[in-house]
Amino acid sequence: MKSLKLLSHGSTNYKTAKNQHITESYILYLSPWKQNSFGKNVCANASKGCIEACLFTAGRGAFSNVQSARQRKTDWLFSDMNGFLSQLYKELYLVNAEAMLENRAVAIRLNGTSDLDFVELIRQKLGHDILQLSNLKFYDYTKNIKKAIKYMDSNYYLTFSRSEDNTLECLTYLEMGGNVAIVFDNMPDEYLGYKVMNGDENDLRYMDHDNVIIGLKAKGKARKDNSGFVVKISEDEEE
C-alpha cells in the first residue's frame, strides 16, 4: 500500500484544537471498534455504552472522506503492520527532530479513536522505543487497566476511562494515584471522594494533577445514554 500520512496536526481536529495555545500536538485517528475491512477490534475493552456513545463522527469525523481516510489507515495497520508502524515511527522521529532543533515539546496522542499499545508494537516489530524520543510527550485515554498500570511513571501518560462496567478498576487506579476520566451529564466538583477537574478545557492529560477525576461533559450520542456509561449527577444519590 502507498504510504499514508498517519498523524494529524492538533489544529485540524476537535479533540486537540484546544491544545495549540499551550503546545503543538499531533493525534492518530483510526476507525473505532471493528469498523475496518478485517473486522478486528481496535478497542478491545470498549463497553456497549462506550461503543454507542463513541465520538468518532464528531467534528471533521462527520465527513465521509475523513471516515474513509481513517478506515484506510486502519486497514493498512492490519494488512501490513510493519509498513504501518515504520511510517508511524518515521513521522514521530521527524516531529521529534524538528522539536529538538527548536527546543520545544510536542504532545502526541496515538489513540484518538482506538486503544492499542503502539509503544509495545513498535518496540516488538521495529526495535525502537518511542518513549525515548526526548521532545515528545505521549498521552492517551485507555480502558485497559493492565496497560494503564504498565506505563505509570513513564513518558506515556494514560488516563483510565470509566464505562458502565469497570467501576472497580476505576477505584483501583485512583487508589494507585492515577487519574480516571468520567463522562457526566452535569459536571460535579467531587465524585467518589475525589476532586473533579474539567477535562474539556484542553486535551493535554499529562498536564493534569495526579489522583483526580477528569470530568468530560456528555456530547453527541452520549447525551441520550441510558446504559450507565454517562454518570447522571441529577439522579445519583451519592451526590
- Which parts of the chain have pLDDT scores under 70? 1-2, 14-15, 55-64, 234-239
The pLDDT score that the predictor gives to residue 222 is: 85
127-to-120, 124, 130, 154 alpha-carbon distances in Å: 9, 6, 10, 18
Give the type of residue at 47.
Answer: S
Q: Comparing C-alpha atoms, which of 151, 139, 135 is closest to residue 15?
A: 139
The pLDDT score that the predictor gives to residue 16 is: 77
The pLDDT score that the predictor gives to residue 1 is: 58
Tell me the pTM.
0.90
The pLDDT score that the predictor gives to residue 81 is: 97
22-to-4, 28, 53 alpha-carbon distances in Å: 28, 19, 28
Cell triple for 48: 456497549
The pLDDT score that the predictor gives to residue 61 is: 44
